[in-house]
Amino acid sequence: MELLIPDSPRPIRASLTWHRPLLVLAGAMALLAVISLLGLILDPREITGAPAWAKPLKFALSIFIYALTLAWLMGLLTRGRRLAWWTATAAAAALAAEMVVIVGAVLFGTTSHFNVSTPLHATLWGVMALSIVVVWLATLLVGILLALSRLGDRTVSWAVRAGVVLGLAGMGVAYFMTSPTSAQLEDFQGVAGAHAVGVPDGGPGLFLLGWSTVGGDLRVPHFVGMHALQLLPIAALALASAARRLPVLRPEGVRLGIVIVLSLLYAGTLVVLTLQALAGESIVQPGPVTATAATGLFVAAAAAIAVILRAGRSSTVRTT
């Protein structure tokens, strides 16, 4: 199966031999998402103020998307496939272990993340932390191998590589969640770490996502960063598809320029969201500095894309 892209030196091939362990993991996560959805409906319990099955649902969907994405990226590799296969297999096993801990905690009515209240809970939290490191390293290795591989279309190549870098940065935001807060150190209750900043975990939050509406929440940049893995390649492929109908997008330089701008916009947004969370600002209540920075980023990106399109339109007119 091939994706034909205008002006591409060769078609981008969709792999027919995607990484099987990752596909099995994706299938298991799809099933778990359905079970978790039923749990949300049938199980009235709450854990730290949120529906008990909300976390398994969110993690199942996130891992489902990640597993399919990594399997697709594996299919693009032209170098180091054997090494990447074993690394991705380790990542799949680590993610499966993490979900076992998360679901097990829900079944026993307790928390999984940051829970060090007993030696058993501390060990399970250590397993989860190790799984995060394994997944990060696996993604890093695949990113390095992608940088060494010939992917064909420069626009898709840039989007894939930028997506991996920003995805790694988004995963890395989780590091800020693992240190005990000052309140936890002063009054230890068996919890070490938090995703909220300036307020306790478990307060008012957005529906289902749970992101704090009264304080900073590091899950926001964590989520946004991780999904650069999908959104930037999707943007590149969407531009390639639109180029069949819009002559201005047919020159590869135009599409590449737009993707570079989108990548820089994404990176800037990730930085702003991270600083906003660390400052204790809610995603729904940005301060003046955050709002100004975000507005400036999007205005600059829109202006840059407009310039690229104008140049592309002029080039198209000259060649017709």
Phi–psi pair at 197, nearest 5 degrees: -125, 125
Predicted pLDDT of residue 117: 78
pLDDT value at residue 13? 46
pLDDT at 317 exceeding the cut of 90? no
In which band, very low, low, confident or very high, does the pLDDT at 318 lie, cut at 50, 70 and 90? low
Indicate if the pLDDT at residue 231 is higher than 70: yes
Three-state secondary structure along 126-188?
HHHHHHHHHHHHHHHHHHHHHHHCCCCCHHHHHHHHHHHHHHHHHHHHHHHHCCCCHHHHHCC
Higher-confidence residue of 271 and 203: namely 271
pLDDT tier, 276 (very low <50, low <70, confident <90, very high otherwise): very high
pLDDT in tens, 217-228: 999 999 999 999
Q: Is 71 left (phi over 0), alpha (psi -120 to 50) or beta?
A: alpha
What residue ranges define each of the domains in the chain, with the CATH number in brackets? 1-152 (1.20.120), 163-320 (no CATH)
Give ∠ CA 312-318-319 in degrees, rounded to 5.
90
Share of the chain above pLDDT 70, in %: 90
Say if CB 264 and CB 232 are below 8 A apart: no
pLDDT range class, residue 29, cuts 50, 70, 90: very high
Sequence-distant (6+) residues with CB within 8 A of 175 are none
Residues 158-210: tens digit of each pLDDT? 999 999 999 999 999 988 887 777 776 666 667 777 788 888 877 788 877 88
**Residue 189 has what pLDDT?**
67
Weakest mean pLDDT among 42-56, 93-107, 177-191, 221-235: 177-191
Instruction: Name the residue with higher pLDDT: 107 or 116.
Output: 107
Looking up tokens 């099955």 gives 53
